[in-house]
Structure 1
Amino acid sequence: MSEHPLTPPAEAKERLRRQALTRRAALTGVDRAEASLKLADFATDLELPAAVAVAGFWPIRDEIDPRPLLVKLRDMGHPLCLPAVIHPTLIFRSFGRDTKFVPGGFGTMAPCPDAEELRPDVLLMPLAAFDSRGNRIGYGKGHYDRAIAVLEKEAPVVCIGLAFDVQEVGEVPAEAHDRRLDALLTPTGLRRF
């Protein structure tokens, strides 16, 4: 028995997380690659104001790969950045074609520490599961929750989840500290909340 038993909402989130990640893992490599490329087709649907800074993420395990979408957004004039884990939160470092990358923790890559820090206006976020109301389940570490809280002390940030359609669940048991997504992009299109 663990020292800190999970609360009912946390227990439900963990169950939904496992189910959604199992479905995601069952996708073939070809299906994941095709779906990742498809995201770029919806870049203009995001309707981002000109030149706003966009934070992406480096995909791990069998996550949807945002890099084709990021290339399209860069070509549209958006400065890009990626998260780096600096406990207890995330910072965001600028990157471009010639950026050198270093291991960023959790199997990700991040721009090297001498890359310029950049405050994103838009977060493209990985997730384990989502529901039709824009609630998301992350991986349980709270990095994005803390980063959003820090960023929003300065100015609003638009949060857009990126996922495969198979990651949708009936209902995420949202808690007071959970930040609902503004939008979600899957290979079948953009949903706004």
Structure 2
Amino acid sequence: MSKPELRAAMREARKAFLLGLTTPERVTMERSLHAQLKPLLESAQVVGAYLPVGSEIDPLGAEFDMEKTAFPAFSSDPEGKIFRFRLGPPIAVGPHGIPQPGPMDPEVSPDLVLVPLIAVDGRGTRLGQGGGHYDRALARLKERGSRFIGLGWPMQRIDFDLPLESHDIALDGYASPAGLEMFR
């Protein structure tokens, strides 16, 4: 399958997975994810997080330290292709309709980045939404030594190799309600 075909199939699988969960089951699973992440979050100086869209798993638990949490904030470039992490509450509407910190909030380089995804393989290859936003942001942060942990539902960890392109940035690990797997 090509990346677009895999992306479409995995999006549908993720939606179907969520439709099979009751609200209490989803809450329990997201709490389990937060428990898996707790040691990583506690040891990080600055955490790059995200607000979930659609069927993405929610990385923000009740114990999340908002004082050290940064969110993607797109620049004012006309195409909205570049984002940096800003330390601040996501209250401004960004170019993609997703809340983000304001332009006056400080730009930071998180040492731990929680990365949304559609699928991940055992090499840490991530299949994202297809816009390349995270690959561009992670490439900059990789040079600074940041760690990248993909987040998702258990069914998003696949047992075959995803197509890998030169611009793809590998994840250091994958966390789901089922556990934390480190790739490097």
Deviation of 1:181 after TM superposition, in Å, equals 0.6
How many residues are matched?
Answer: 174
| Partner residue, 2:29 | 35
Unpaired stretches in structure 2, ≥5 consecutive residues: none
The partner residue of 1:117 within 93, 107, 128 is: 107
1:84 aligns with 2:77: no
**For residues 1-193 of structure 1, what are the structure 2 equivalents within 5 Å?**
12-26=2-16, 27-28=18-19, 30=23, 31-46=25-40, 49=43, 51-68=44-61, 71-74=62-65, 79-86=68-75, 87-95=80-88, 99=89, 101-153=91-143, 155-169=144-158, 170-193=160-183
Task: Return the letter of the residue paired with 2:33.
Answer: L
Does the C-alpha gap of structure 1 residues 55 and 91 become closer, same or farther in structure 2, counting only changes over 3 Å? Answer: same
Give yes or no for contact 1:43–1:72 (8 Å, CA) kept in 2.
Answer: no
TM-score (ref. length: structure 2): 0.84
CA displacement at 1:73 relative to structure 2: 4.2
RMSD over aligned CA atoms reads 2.1
Contact 2:90 2:99 in 1 (8 A): no
Q: CA deviation at 1:15?
A: 1.4
1:100–1:89 CA distance, 2 compared to 1 (3 A): closer
Query: Would the aligned equivalents of 1:21 and 1:167 in 2 still touch at CA under 8 Å?
Result: no
- Unmatched runs of 5 consecutive residues or more in structure 1: 1-10
Cα separation, 2, equivalents of 1:47 and 1:55: 10
